[in-house]
A and B are shown apart, each in its own frame.
Chain A
Amino acid sequence: MSCRGHKAVACIGVALAGLGALITLVGHSYTPTLLTLSLIMLSLSTLALLLDSLALLVAYTALLTLSLALVKLLGAPLFIVILAPLIPIAPRALASSRPDIIISGLSLVLASTLLLVEEVLVLAPYMILQAVLAVIVSRRVHSIVLLAALAAIPFGLIPAMVASLLSSILVISAGGLIQRVGCPFKVDSKIVFSGSLVASAGVVAVALWGWSGLTAGLWLLGFLLVISGVLAPMGAPVGARLTVRA
């Protein structure tokens, strides 16, 4: 089994590493921004995992970036950003009748909407880069990201260290594990649902009280739960688990 979808999860580490480095370098090292952008990367990776298509992830990210650019540069209406990511996901989700894909896609749309409040344009090329990295994730790519993290050290030691640490562990463990033992994961739909619910609660909280550490924390908690749900150990026969297609 190739477990291609699950390999996408390894990209989270890469995304987090580059993200930490980049945000530190551009001077946007305050927590809500970091958490928000981290969760965008988490959601993209999750979506790729659920859709089991890295090509779709690239298309998705490009579409999202283009939409953001349209809004920022040309003053296009906001709904473009909100609706655009639905275009590729809708037929797939409806055809497979998988609520987890729909929930994940909607979460991504909401997350991207929220991102508009941040200085996102500077990060758009970075998102494209991350999508490319996601496709060809390897130790070589990973080492480049580590170099970026190292370069960020003079600007902020902790984010760079943490980002590179997270990246090292996840990419090496997931990549090596899949290579060695095949595909040892299942999807635990209950946890995925629970995580999506928490992330949605984050949206409501943002709407009610604005953007803060709490709302960012809820978002990230939700997505971490989603990620843990899609990496449930194969040996644990819990509830309504779905087998991820290889």
Chain B
Amino acid sequence: MPTLISKVSAFIELTKPRQAALLMLTMYGAYIATGAPLDPVMLIKLTLGGFAAIGGVTALNMYFDYDIDSMMKRTSRRPLPSGRLSFEESLLGVTLMLILAVTIASTINEYVLFAFLAGLYFNIIGYTELTKRFTALNIVIGSIAGSMPALGGWAAGAGAITLPGILLAAVVYSWQPLHVWFLAYFLEEDYRRAKVPMAPFNYNVRVFSTLTLLHLAIMASAVWIFAYVTSKGYIAALLSTVFILLASVRVAYFVGNPSKAEALRIFKFATPTIAIVFVLVPLEILASNIAVLPW
């Protein structure tokens, strides 16, 4: 008989903790990048609220995608398709998490609340319901949702949604095709079985690789404009440009030599490409804050 612990554990799995951790990294990074003080209460709010928001929306997405997950080998052992969690149980958890997210976000400020609700809107309605099953460019909409944690983190620190925050969100947005499309290429049979259209196999290699390169160019531009506007983050801009260039070279090589192994290598290279921005920018700002302290 399933215990409460096993149910809670299955629900936590439904929130995709690893993906949530990466998105929360962008949220923390954007928050620290504002130069706001590292107030422990705010950090606790961001942690709880951020996880509730990202995890709750992800779990709701899995609720709707139950049928797709059942058909794909990679996802068939997830809590809903495997029966470890019922629909009612998952929906109860989702609702509680989303309420928690609203409650915490509203104690920070209305812009954080807005970022959360916009993330919910774009992920569930814009992506899962209106585009995921119908267009190979679904991720172009889905990526907007993925950029909301960064926008929320910035709004929490700056007290408003301003240009640098939008630029950091644009960094996350433009990074996602690199992450998603090459994984999809690697898992092509799974996606075909579930009849989910994806650019890597709905278009030819040249087209989707060009689209990826375009996104990478936007990402590099956003990082540099951020550095220019804030006069901070130049080291991060420089290093991330190196990573973006390396990723671009890999993608260009892939066009001439497409293979699943190469697609997997590019997918694995995607995470450090974004992590470098959201780790180095805050570090640079923290270091500059320490440098101006009286001692």
Measured CB to CB, the residues of A under 8 A from B are 31, 158, 162, 166, 169-170, 173-174, 177, 180-181, 184-185, 190-191, 194, 197-198, 201, 212-214, 217-218, 220-221, 224-225, 227-228, 231-233, 235-239
Contact = CB atoms under 8 A, between A and B. Distances in A.
Interface stretch (B64-72, B220-228, B232-240, B266-274): B64-72
Contacts, number: 106
Contacts of B129: 185, 228, 231-233
Contact of B64 (A31, A166, A197, A236): A236
Please name the 10 residue pairs, one residue from A and one from B, whose CB atoms are nearest each other, closest first. A31-B110, A214-B106, A213-B106, A217-B102, A173-B130, A231-B129, A236-B67, A228-B124, A239-B87, A217-B113
A217 B117 contact: yes
29 contacts: A166-B121, A169-B144, A173-B141, A174-B130, A177-B134, A181-B134, A184-B133, A191-B91, A194-B94, A198-B99, A212-B106, A213-B113, A214-B103, A214-B106, A217-B105, A218-B102, A221-B99, A224-B120, A224-B124, A225-B95, A228-B60, A231-B125, A231-B130, A233-B64, A233-B65, A233-B129, A238-B63, A238-B64, A238-B87
A235 B63 CA distance: 12
A162 B125 contact: no
A177 B130 contact: yes
Chief secondary structure at chain B's binding surface: helix
A221 B120 contact: yes
Given A174-B130, A228-B60, 13 more contacts: A162-B114, A166-B121, A185-B129, A213-B113, A214-B107, A217-B105, A227-B125, A228-B64, A231-B125, A233-B67, A235-B67, A235-B133, A238-B66
B118 interface: yes
B66 A236 contact: yes
Interface in B40-83: 60, 63-68
A127 to B, nearest CB: 21
Given A173-B141, A231-B125, A239-B87, A217 B106 contact: yes
Contacts of B141: 169, 173
A197 B131 CA distance: 27
A72 to B, nearest CB: 27
Contacts of A198: 95, 98-99
Given A218-B102, A221-B120, A236-B64, A194 B91 contact: yes
Given A173-B126, A185-B129, A236-B66, A224 B121 contact: yes
A214 B87 contact: no
Interface residues of B, number: 41
Contacts of A225: 95, 98
B31 to A, nearest CB: 19
Interface of A, secondary structure class, is helix
B229 to A, nearest CB: 15
Nearest to A162: B118
Contacts of B114: 31, 162
A162 B130 CA distance: 18
Contacts of B103: 214, 217
B81 to A, nearest CB: 11
A170 B118 CA distance: 13
A237 B102 contact: no
B210 to A, nearest CB: 23
A237 B110 contact: no
A217 B102 CA distance: 6
A166 B60 CA distance: 20
A224 B131 contact: no
A23 to B, nearest CB: 14
A166 B118 CA distance: 9
Contact of B65 (A174, A231, A236): A236
A203 to B, nearest CB: 14
A194 B105 CA distance: 20
Nearest to B128: A233
B12 interface: no
Given A218-B99, A231-B125, A190 B130 contact: no
Contacts of A170: 125-126, 130
Contacts of A218: 99, 102
B161 interface: yes
Nearest to A10: B130
Nearest to A174: B130
A99 B188 CA distance: 42
Nearest to B112: A213
Contacts of A162: 114, 118
Residue from A166, A220, A221, A232 having most chain B Cβ neighbours under 10 A: A221
Given A213-B113, A236-B65, A158 B161 contact: yes
A73 to B, nearest CB: 32
